[in-house]
Amino acid sequence: DIVVTQSPDSLAVSLGERATINCKSSQSVLYSSNNKNYLAWYQQKPGQSPNLIIKWASTRASGVPDRINGSGSGTDFTLTITSLQAEDVAVYYCQQYFTNPPWTFGQGTKVEIK
Amino acid sequence: QVQLLESGGGVVQRGGSLRLSCAASGFSFSSFGFHWVRQAPGKGLEWVAFIRYDGTYKYYANSVKGRFTISRDNSRNTLFLQMDSLREDDSAVYYCAKDSSRFGEFLSSWGQGTLVTVSS
């Protein structure tokens, strides 16, 4: 099974500042035949269900603001919130869908306001 | 718009059974695979099971294999999770999630979840 590990477990960022979350998979999730990374990011706000924000490692889902960006390839990925807003307070999860089953999630990163 | 509404959660004794349902609307239910994902209190997300669009293939996490059964009724736009031989560590909020494809990729939409509590 592919293990997905996020860092840090939590971070506190001032409003308007950058938040960076890392995600590392134990095997490459890049499919060479289509050059796509099979990695997604989800945002779970307090008291809510998760919501897809990034697919294919870097494509924003519908309605996601452009301050939220995904990047990376192979085994190393990053979610960046360029200017943190109050509504971005949430737990963020990365998830690989390259090898399934199982679909595996990172342990989550909690983003708070400093 | 996509709507997923889970039901069937509740309190059950260890060793008991529970059947969760997820009623879908707003899209072509029979064209997509579906997942169940759970989240224990204060913990992260754990994938539980997946079923392909036509129900031909089903996959399970090792932690529930042999105890849980995923199924679907495309005529009723409904997903199910039959949970047997429940253990305390099965206590969690259970989410149904629509896959982005027929065969299993990323989870494009999630329901609000239903809470399952297994008591000793």
Residues of B in contact with A106 (CB under 8 A): 44
**Which residue, among A7, A34, A100, A103, would best test binding to B if mutated, counting the most B CBs under 10 Å from its CB?**
A103
Distances from the Cα of B23 to the Cα of A108, B29, B39, B108, angstroms:
28, 10, 20, 16
A51: distance to nearest CA of chain B, Å?
7
Contacts of B74 (CB under 8 A, 6+ apart): B29, B30, B54, B55
| Single-letter code of the amino acid located at A57 | A
Q: Residue B106 is nearest to which of A52, A106, A107, comparing CB atoms?
A: A52
For B19-69, the pLDDT digits (tens) are 999 999 999 999 999 999 999 999 999 999 999 999 999 999 999 999 999
User: Please, what's the b/e burial string for B77-87 (b: 16 or more CB within 10 A of its CB; e: otherwise)?
Assistant: bbbbbebeebe
Which pLDDT value is given to residue A70? 98
Residue A14: CB atoms within 10 Å: 10
Average pLDDT, chain A: 97
